[in-house]
Amino acid sequence: MSSGVREIVLLTLGWEDLPKSVSVHGASPEQRLREPVPGVLLHCDGGWLLLDTGFNTALINDPALRRRFHGRPDFRAILPGPGEPLEEALARAGIGIDEIHAVGLSHLHYDHAGGLKHFAGRVPVHVQRRELDYGLSGSPAPEQHAIYRVDFDDPSIDWRTADGDAEIAPGVTAVLTAGHTPGHQSFVVDLDASVGGGGFVFAFDAADLTENIEQELPVGGTVDVDPEATVEPIRRLKRIAAERGYRLVPGHDPVVWPTLTSELAAYFAGVRRR
């Protein structure tokens, strides 16, 4: 019997041109980065599990919606092609959207939850209860923090909520890392022995960049907490990774993400050839 994930495919669902201070608290506002928008496909028992869904393209392509939701002068969302980023990325990976049997959301920010429209009424969506409660609270605060209700307020979404750490699939554990948002979660991925064992810890926005991890620097974007409160979740992820001997992967690092994307593609291609 399989007890872990049998393949990992990393997706780049777009980019964001933004101040580095969004990712590292206290960074100079003049420093800018072009950060990838991440998605992670995990081949588990029953099919593929997708972690995060990228942008809602309607909020970028429609001029009126773009003014409302993407009107910050210091920020620019960049789509990778003319169509739906998730559909295009899946096509490049040779995976059909109907092969995805569940979705896990790190949090409800527009660059992570915007593609939920593809899965409403189709598959379970795993999220922390406190994150969903905040997003659906009816307060104007979530939108002020780039959590857009239009992305996820759909009665046909099959929410599966957790209160803290929870296994969401064989070999995939959601770990509560609140701070960046009220119910942010990261993911521990255990690889099956048939593909060599080991695993990864995907921080997502608990740690955007390598320096957040190595230097334990707080992230710049938070909801109702001091940025320093984001350091303990980083330390927790570092402890989990160290105890298991897993690699801790930052969520938006413009060097790490494309490099690891290529490394994993080559590794699992080699596994399939054996």
**Closest by alpha carbon to 213, among 177, 261, 183?**
177
Q: Is residue 234 within 8 Å of residue 216, measured between CB atoms?
A: yes
**Average pLDDT for 129-154:** 97
**pLDDT computed for residue 29 by the predictor:** 82
Q: Is residue 252 within 8 Å of residue 209, measured between CB atoms? A: yes
SS3 5: strand
Query: What CA–CA distance (Å, rounded) separates 32 from 17?
Result: 7
Per-residue pLDDT tens over the stretch 2-25: 589 999 999 999 999 999 999 999
Q: What is the pLDDT of residue 2?
A: 58
Give the residue among 24, 155, 168, 60 at the shortest CA–CA distance from 105: 168
Q: What is the pLDDT of residue 272?
A: 77
Contact 210, 234 (CB under 8 A): no
Mean pLDDT of 42-58: 96
- Average pLDDT value over all residues in the chain: 96
Rounded Cα gap, residues 178 and 193, in angstroms: 31
Please state, in angstroms and rounded to a whole number, the distance separating the CA atoms of residues 247 and 188: 10
Please, which pLDDT band fits residue 271 given cuts at 50, 70 and 90?
confident
Predicted pLDDT of residue 3: 82
Question: Does position 273 have pLDDT exceeding 90, yes or no?
Answer: no
Q: What is the mean pLDDT of residues 112-132?
A: 98
Alpha-carbon Rg for the chain, nearest whole angstrom, is 17
Which residue type does 187 have? F
